[in-house]
Structures are given as structure tokens and as C-alpha cells.
Chain A
Amino acid sequence: MEHFFDDYVNFILNLTPERFLRIFWFFVIFELCRYVILDLIVLLSTRLTFYLTKRKRREAYERFMFEQPFVSVIIPGKNEGKHIYKLVQSLNAQSYKNFETIVVDDGSDDDTPIIGRSMEKAGLIDMFLRNELRGGKASAANLALRFAKGKYIVHLDADCSFDFDAIEQVILPFYYNDRIGAVGGNVMVRNYKESLCTTLQCLEYYDTISVGRLISSHLGIYRIISGAFGAFRSDVMKKIQGWDIGPGLDGDITVKVRKAGYTVQFAPDAVCLTSVPNTFRKLAKQRQRWDKSLVRFRMRKHKDVFYPNKAFNWSNFLSFFENILYGFVLNFKWLFYLVDMLYNHFSQVQFIILTNFILYVIMNYFKFLVFSLFRKRKQASISYFLIYVPCMVIYFGYFLRVVRMYAHIKELIFKASYDDPWNPLKTSKHAKKLGL
């Protein structure tokens, strides 16, 4: 052990800048530059923009409050009855009141119909629709959309709860400019104290949603409006004819909005709390479903984004390019890096892994502490998460990467998303046949 330590110190002391770059090129180019330096620059830019647009935002708020548009809150889901009452309580506490609530039960086999009907009768929700035959989340959302009367559609997941001004905050960006077709809410983890798995996901959500989407939105490449909390212009939804078959329909609808010529905005102040999987097994299952949709939707269904045709749009192109590069290509590139290290630096591989770990830990601490300054809403004290930050290296760098790679391979070779029981086979087989 002592010998290892001496060797490691020698390894560090012998690291010239060129050698450092040669060995840790992956970290420097794809992690440090993209996720720290670029993100920091953009975050500073968002802060600057925030101050510069203060008047514009105030005027937008005044227009919004003057108009008081009617909003349809739609909640599609299966076996979500147990969550509906709490959700409705959360909605009743909203500062914005001019909305209707439509709950769609997609063929639940629990007490959801009884709960939904009784809540409709008690006037707690405006409309409860039930499909006796399960059709998938897209069909449930489309049914709600068909009967929604609002100027804006807010799509929620039933197991979420919301800050008192969440609806107000998610609708407000529509008044910034006419080209905004959809707005995504800021999804945070409610059960972050439940297990290590949920704590790590909370840190991940801070990074990829609260900060990551702020950045991508500012850059105009925001690509996923979370199904848990998103708002859409009703006329845009009619134009793009609602949701298509999932899984991954939240990313798909965002792309459809973008392809229809509208921009998509992230609303960091529109906060929604959701419960995340509390075990790594459940998490792996969820992430596989999400990760498969990258291949299915970005690389297959919407591959025309890359075609230089009449409908070509640079922001869509960049959005897809960034997503595919970091979500798909670099995932495999990481393997390439591993092979590179094993082949060229085999004798020092243990030192490289350790250094990589330390670099990532330092980077994660830096990001967590510095980026926290840009997060407006904090659930718990920063100190609570400090001891978990090093775990993010394993979680993000290994666990999620392996899950993602596995999902991508399954989808690329077997088109596994079409067999996912999350969506009924009767619709998936048509989607598979039509390449949707």
C-alpha cells in the first residue's frame, strides 16, 4: 500500500500539461470544457440576461395577469388514484386560479375510477375521463387534450406536487414572446432522503434539470419538457395533433413543438416535486426506458432534423447534435477511452482511474457549490449533500453510463422500446411498423 502511494505521487509529479492532456483528454475535453467551463459561462450569461430583461419580464407578467388565460391542467395516468387527492390539494393551493383539472384514467385496475369519480362529484376536479381499455399514456393525454378548453395545456404526472406559484410560473414565459410553444417546469426530487439512490438522483436532477435545462434553454437547444410538469400552447398542440405513442413521449412532443417552428423554454421558478425510484434496480429500469427513446426518437423518428431541407433549423440541429453526441456517441467514446488507457497506459491504469476519480470529485464539488448559486430553489441545505457528492462519480460516471449503453444497444439492435410493457402492445406494434 505504501509502495502504491509512492508510485502514485511519482505519477502525479511526472504529469506535464501535455501528458495530463494525453491521459485525461476525455475529462478535459468532454467533461471540463462542456460541463463546467461552458456551463459556467452560459450560467453567467443567463444571470446577465435575467437582469437585462427585468422590464420585459415585468411587462409580460402584467399582460399575463391582465388576460388571466384559462388553463387546462391534464393528468393522464394508470393506477394513480392514490396520488390524485394530494395532487388536487396542491393545485387548489395555487396562486393562479383560472384553470380546469382533467384527470384521465388509462384503464386502471385499482380504485382509481372510484376515487376519480367521487372527486369529480365533489367538485375537486372538473372532469374525470376513464378509458376502460388501456391505450397508453399518449392516448390518455390526447383524450384530455380533446376536451380541454384552456388556452394553455399543463401536463402533469399524478404523483407530483407543486409550489404555490408553479402554474403561474410555467405559463408566464408564453408572454415573453409569441414563438414560445411550450414551457418545461423545474422538476425536483421529493423523496431525496429516502435512500442513497434517491439522494443521488436529487443531485442529478439539480445538475441536469435545474441547471442543465436552464443552460440548454438559454442556448436554444432545450429538448425535453418533462412529462411531470410542462405547459403547451393549446393552438400549437392542435397543430401538432397531440402526443404520439411512447415511451419517451415527453421528449417526442418537445421535438414536435420545435419542428413546428416554435421555441421551447425552461421555467426554473416553476417547481414541481416528484418521487423518484428508491432502488437502483427500479432506477435502471426507468432509465433504460428513457435512454431507449434517444435512439428511437432522435435517431430514427426525427432523423429528418439533420436533413438540409426546407424545414431545416439550426437550433433543432444543434439540439439533436448535442444530445446524440453526449448521450450516445460519447457513451461509446468513453469505452474507447477505456481501451485507449488499457492499451497505451496499462501499467498506470490504476493511477489513471484514481486520478480520474479525484478529478471528477473535484469537478462535482465545484459544480455543486458554484452552480448552487444559480439554482433559485433549494430543498435542503447544501451541507446535507456534501458527503454524497463523491458518490456521483460512480453513479453518473459508471452506473448511469452502463445503463445507458445497455439501453442504446438494445434499442439499436432489437428495437426493444416497442416491446416495453409501459406502452400497450396493440399500439407499439403499429408504431414499430410505421417507424414512429
Chain B
Amino acid sequence: MTTDASGALRRTALHDAHLALGARMVPFGGFEMPVQYTSILKEHEAVRKRAGLFDLSHMGQFTLDGAGVGAWADALTVNKVATMKPGQARYNIFTNDRGGAHDDVIFYRLDENRWLLVVNASNADKMWNVVTAEPASGVELKNLHGERALIAIQGPRSIEWLQPYVEADLASLKYYACAETRVKETRDPIVIARTGYTGEDGFELFLPSSEATGVWDLLLAENRRHGLEPCGLGARDVLRLEAGMPLYGHEMTEEITPLQAGLAWAIKFDKPAFRGKDALLAQRDAGDYARIAALVMEGRVPARSGYPVFADGARAGEIRSGSWGPSVEKNIGTALVEPAAAAEGSSLEVEVRGVRHRALVVPMPFYKRPKP
């Protein structure tokens, strides 16, 4: 279910804050979410050059408690869970028997026996079914979807602008590390992690919904005049595409496996067994699978999801994501194409409204942040 019983869209705790900021709201994952406040390009630029603030409270948050979580999750996912140390976050993918993806997720190990699992908003109900279908002793699951908030601050100045308000020492929090801390002047503990979906440095704050507006306003009050911008899902999608990060439903689906999505690094074939392992092994060994390629359009015409892709005049696949890439200053996209067409340097054609336009296969990602 993506809506409540009446079919109405759900609202995050920050709904009124978004309206007060002039956000344009759209339905996403069963929630009414801000797609943009001022301009996708301005918000994108804020994140690349300064920092942006995102409400991601629509994402699914599950808590996993108990001594059995590591082994249980290792059987359902491609990456390693039990080997994670307290204070560590790790990207992972829940797979089906065919090696396709139920969802891509992040596990946060808060301490020895307490974990947070964050799933995509659009998959939150499906994922709750996936995890509760596999009961195990020593694993206690709780669904906090919609009950807790998630605020992300992303961009090079995130650490400077966030540090005054949290007790944790952010400089000592490494990329993909997490910690329990407090926002100063609030009572309840929150989880903070150095994770994100923009290709920039940044932090995600998992907190009780009751604290969301206070924290959001606190961060904007002082920092907005310096250039912290509230950012919507429109900018977020462009930022993640430039950074080469997959979006579930586009680069990865129940049919498109993590191997095809270019996520071999996350698949640990040395794990004794996990759901979909045999199918992924067979796909890897055969090697002839269609895969995600990064495309840059040569002209001004944007590629869009679903457009047909051709190699040497023959149909070779289709666009899965496409947008203007402001940091690349070109139209960029991903395409699921035959293996020969996916090679870097391949010259392909994308059919747009009946006309074929040239595109070049380039290395992923399109954008890498400058080294500090």
C-alpha cells in the first residue's frame, strides 16, 4: 500500500515547512513531497557548491534488533552484513531468486545488536513483506515508515553548517560511518550518518518526527543566509544521476539484476549462500547480459527514460534515466544495452520522437566531486 485507507497521500512532519518555503508538492512513494522550491538548477548548484537540505522522511525506516540480524540479513542480500562493525553503514541489495533486486538499501549498525535499515519509499511496503516473510530467531523487526523523519544535508559545506547543532564530532565520523547523538537543545537521541545520494559529502539525520520541524528550522535559520538551500526531489534525482548512483525502478528492478546495474562491487560471491546467488553466478559466468551504460548525448536533445537505443542501426536497448546534467553541461543518461554496445567509447543512437541522435558511452560516474 502506498496510501492510507482513504487513498489520500501521506504527509511528512515537515509538510507545513515545505509549503511555507513555497515548495511545489508532488506525489512520490505514497507521500506528498517537495519536487522543487525555487529551481532544480539552483538547488543542484547549491548542493555542488555549498549545501542543500532535503526532507527524505518518505523513505522506509525499519529497526532490526537481536543477535541474529547479521546472519539473517546475509542470507537475503548480496553484500556482507554480519561483518559490519558497530558505527558502520553499508550499501546493500535484497535480491529475488532470479538475482533481480527487491530493493537497494543501507544497513546502519548502531551497536552490537541494534540496526537501522533504510529502504526506498516506493518499495517500503514490499520490503516490509520481504523482511517479515523470513522470520528468524534473534531478529526483532519494527516498521517505522512514516513515523520517523529523515533530514539530509548534502554538499561541501555540510560539516561546517551542521556541526554547531549536533553533539557528535563530525570530523571523526568517516564516510559511511554512523553514530547516535543528539541535536543540541532537543531531548531525544538521533542517528547521524555520513551517507547521501548526491555525490557530495554530507550527512543524514534519522530522528523522531516530533523533532523534525525544530531541526529543519534550526539548520535553515542561521545557514540559509550563507547559501544553504532547501532542495527537492527534482534536484536529488539529477544529483544522483550525475554521481552514477542507481535509482530503483530505473537502473535496477526485479528484472534488472545488480550485476546488470554495474554493482558487482557490492555482490560478495564468497558468502556461502544468499538468495539469488546461483542466478547471479550463472549470469556472471555467461557474461552476455545486457547492462547499464552511461551515455552523453552529442546534441541538445535530452534522452528520457524509455527511449530506444541503437548500435550500428540495430536496436540495442533503451534509456533508463535521462536528464540535463548541469555539472557535465550536457544531456546525460543511463541505458540498458547489449554488452557490445556498453563498451566505453561506443557511439550509439537514441531515438527521440522518431529521429535518431548520436550518443557516446562514457565511464560512470559522470561527475566526481573535487578532492578536498
Is the pairing of A and B real?
no
